[in-house]
């Protein structure tokens, strides 16, 4: 009877890379300054895209463990996280498209207005569905914390990161550091274990 951890290589990499690439996007965004189309905009959003893809792997790692202890709540949280992830990936794709098409800041604003004027675009990719990314993340972390599989402060640092980044995108590097602290306990070999399965007598 042995437990298995979710800290296999893909998940370990995601726990490191997701916040690191998010922080990279935040730093590039600050250095870019004018937030207009150009190499800085494209490089930053490519880093953000990479971060989101790794967050998908991260969500899966959290779900695998949370589902073993609270399957219904874990499915709901994981589903919410995936909805938010899909919406945020869509937003990033739009941002990349606009950045590559626009010739200057005014043209960028015009293209954004043109795209966002379509019914449903704003709630689907900017104002409503992306929130499920953070709700799902906090839900999965909360399940693990309640089950004492991660420290109680892990969801709190994720919540602090969410609040800071919602208050100002300029605080994204700080938020990324907090998210790195959130995922740090998951890197320990025995940090997260699935429950032991005991064979029933026949």
CA–CA separation, 172 and 30 (whole Å): 9
CA–CA separation, 159 and 110 (whole Å): 34
- pLDDT band at residue 197, thresholds of 50, 70 and 90? very low
DSSP secondary structure, 60-79, as one string:
HHHHHHHHHH-HHHHHHHHH
Q: Which residues contact 144 (CB under 8 A, 6 or more apart)?
A: 62, 65, 66, 69, 150, 154, 192
Does residue 193 sit in helix, strand or coil? strand
140: closest CA among 196, 201, 84? 84
pLDDT at residue number 193: 45
pLDDT at residue number 31: 93
pLDDT at residue number 70: 67
- Does the structure show a pLDDT above 60 at 33? yes
pLDDT at residue number 192: 43
pLDDT at residue number 189: 59
- pLDDT band at residue 94, thresholds of 50, 70 and 90? very high
Cα dihedral sign for 170, 135, 50, 46? negative
pLDDT at residue number 10: 82
User: Of how many residues is the chain composed?
Assistant: 202
- pTM as predicted: 0.88
């Amino acid at each position: 009877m042995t437990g298995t951890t979710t800290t296999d290589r893909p998940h370990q990499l995601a726990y490191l890379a997701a916040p690191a690439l998010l922080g990279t996007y935040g730093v590039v965004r600050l250095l870019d300054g004018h937030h207009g189309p150009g190499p800085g905009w494209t490089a930053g959003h490519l880093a953000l895209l990479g971060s989101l893809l790794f967050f998908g792997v991260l969500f899966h790692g959290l779900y695998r463990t949370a589902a073993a202890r609270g399957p219904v709540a874990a499915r709901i949280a994981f589903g919410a996280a995936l909805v938010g992830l899909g919406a945020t990936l869509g937003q990033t794709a739009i941002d990349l498209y606009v950045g590559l098409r626009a010739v200057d800041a005014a043209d960028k604003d015009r293209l954004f207005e043109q795209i966002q004027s379509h019914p449903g675009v704003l709630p689907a990719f900017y104002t409503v569905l992306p929130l499920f990314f953070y709700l799902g993340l906090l839900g999965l972390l909360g399940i693990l914390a309640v089950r004492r599989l991660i420290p109680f402060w892990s969801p709190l640092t994720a919540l602090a990161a969410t609040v800071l980044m919602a208050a100002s995108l300029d605080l994204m590097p700080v938020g990324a550091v907090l998210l790195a602290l959130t995922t740090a306990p998951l890197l320990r070999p025995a940090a997260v274990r699935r429950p032991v399965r005991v064979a029933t007598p026949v």
